[in-house]
Structure 1
Amino acid sequence: MSQPLTVTLHILDKEYQVACPPDQRYNLEEAARHLDATMRDIRNRGKVIGLERIAVMAALNISHEMLTGSRSQNQLLSEQQQQIADLATRLDQALARHQD
């Protein structure tokens, strides 16, 4: 297992040093960019003041995105499983007709 490296992240004009495994650096940087963009958007709308409040609102927004996406994926998977079951039933019926 490789040694963690220290990555410098810039989020809402502040610098953060975070340790992470080398193979996760890209994902960490992508997450930081997404967080930074979300926090900047909230700050620029001007309705939320204070770094802590902006961070909490960003966390809520990102959590909502994640949960909504997970639900959508679960629903899609369920629909695909139903389609596969329907196809299997139709295939069984067709095979049964040809065996007679």
Structure 2
Amino acid sequence: MADDNSTNSENSTSVNIHIMGNEYHVASPESEIENLEVAARALDKRMKEIKQGGKIVGLERIAVMAALNLSYELMFGDSTSAEETDAINQRIQKIQEKIDTALASTAQTELI
């Protein structure tokens, strides 16, 4: 039986990313390389902003603060994200209502 990891590693490529002047070698699926590079640039920018603030010293501490900031934004987002979430939830509810109506109609047809 083939191991899933061997299949995934065949499609992975080593990518060099640069963060805060340091180069890191990261394995990435070929289809995700561009996304990884965008994420690395965003992290680099965020870490440089924190460093320029002057209150946090040391690469590790800057990285932790950047990670906390990004995690907070991901988890709690901003008002725009909340609006988008509400819009998505409304669309889901409408789709659910259509599904319920279609299922009820199908059930009625089957009874006849």
| Structure 2 match to 1:97 | none
Q: Of the candidates 54, 58, 61, which is equivalent to residue 53 of structure 1?
A: 61
Unpaired runs of 5+ in structure 1? 89-100
**With structure 2 as the length reference, what TM-score do the two structures score?**
0.65
1:5 aligns with 2:13: yes
Deviations 1:9-68 (A, max 9, x none): 000010000011100000100110010000000000101011111000000111112123
Structure 2 residue aligned with 1:74: 85
Distance 2:92 2:11 in 1: 41
- State the TM-score, normalized to the length of structure 1: 0.72
* Structure 2 unpaired stretches of 5+: 1-6, 99-112
Higher relative contact order (CA 8 A, sep 6+): 1
Residue of structure 2 in register with 1:37 after alignment: 45
Q: CA RMSD in A?
A: 2.5
**Identity in percent:** 42
SS in 2 for 1:47: coil
Query: What is the aligned residue count?
Result: 86
